[in-house]
Structure 1
């Protein structure tokens, strides 16, 4: 098992793991018992942002309708519409050797699809986590359990990977937004 992180904690990725070139970002969650009549569909996304924390164009936003960055640096392995079962519900694969030079941080987020229409929020989600696995060894290097700090939020930045000189670091963010995916897109400088 990897290192367990707390909210706000930062840790070296590529410096302390010199062989790390490809990482699997596994995201998981459960939904609380809820009788609203609708399934929960949580969606992972990645925002490849510049030094100002803004995406340069729409290609820098990886989600269920744009599964792969043109550089091959980030690949979304597919949308899980139910979150059923143990383990990762959705995964993103990050290839550190292919990240374009203009990208200084990668925001890893999860949103609830149609949250307002379905009257759903992260207060109804439990056991949310993000973990980072070295793809070459399948070893979990770190894990961040988000806890139960949310109520009305419909989008959460789980973590960020960010450039520090020639190396990459991991920041356990755990920051919630109201306004779902649209609010996150605006936060990262994209037009909605």
Structure 2
């Protein structure tokens, strides 16, 4: 049975699913019809964070140009330029048992590429979600639908996988940011430029 989460809800992942070692995190979205001439390009990015809430090293920022991180434990599917179609727009494979011990949390984010130049924001995005799937059985374990809570934000921290002792849990975050990917990178300790 799929657990449907509310914003801010934290739920156990591995304790209630014994033997779970590999998950696929799917992220999806639709764009609202609007008068702009620019197409939307939303991007999923992943940050592997230490206890400090910052990356341990610059390669702990995983995205379409750096698709594998965490010593191979986290793998991004690649960039979906349109978001067209049903289901997941971008996916991330996570081998939970192989995540380096210095990674306390895995943050999943979505940003709008060139949002400022294209005059776009998450108020123009609908049906955004994150879901966690058992990779071995292709069974959806949990899902968080973000709702329509955003207006001017250009980046969203959608959810987090985090360690709790020897177990993994999931946090439905749904926090919006202005400043796009750059603002997230600064907050998570990525050196820009």
Task: Quickly name the TM-score band, shorter chain normalised.
Answer: over 0.9
1:4 is aligned to 4
What is aligned with 1:37? 37
- Alignment gaps of 5+ in structure 2: none
**How many residues end up aligned between the 2 structures?**
192
Tell whether 2:193 aligns with 1:172: no
Tell me what 1:185 maps to: 185
Partner of residue 136, structure 2 = 136
Q: Partners of 1:20 and 1:62 in 2: how far apart?
A: 23
User: Structure 1: which 5+ runs fail to align?
Assistant: none
1:20-169 map, 5 Å: 20-69=20-69, 71-169=71-169
Aligned residue for 1:189, secondary structure, equals coil
Deviations 1:110-140 (A, max 9, x none): 0000000000000000000000000000000
CA RMSD of aligned residues (A): 0.7
TM-score, normalised relative to structure 2: 0.98
CA deviation string 1:54-111 (max 9, x = no partner): 0011110100110001511110011000000000000001110110010000000000
* CA contact 2:70–2:99 (8 Å) conserved in 1: no
Q: Secondary structure at the match of 1:38?
A: coil
SS in 1 for 2:68: coil
Structure 1 segments, 4+ long, off by >4 Å, are none
SS at match of 2:69: coil
Distance 2:163 2:70 in 1: 20
Cα-to-partner distance string for 1:28-66 (whole Å, 9 max, x where unaligned): 000000121111000001100000110011110100110
SS of the residue corresponding to residue 116 of structure 1 reads: helix
Per the normalisation by structure 1, the TM-score is 0.98
Q: Give yes or no for contact 2:48–2:70 (8 Å, CA) kept in 1.
A: no
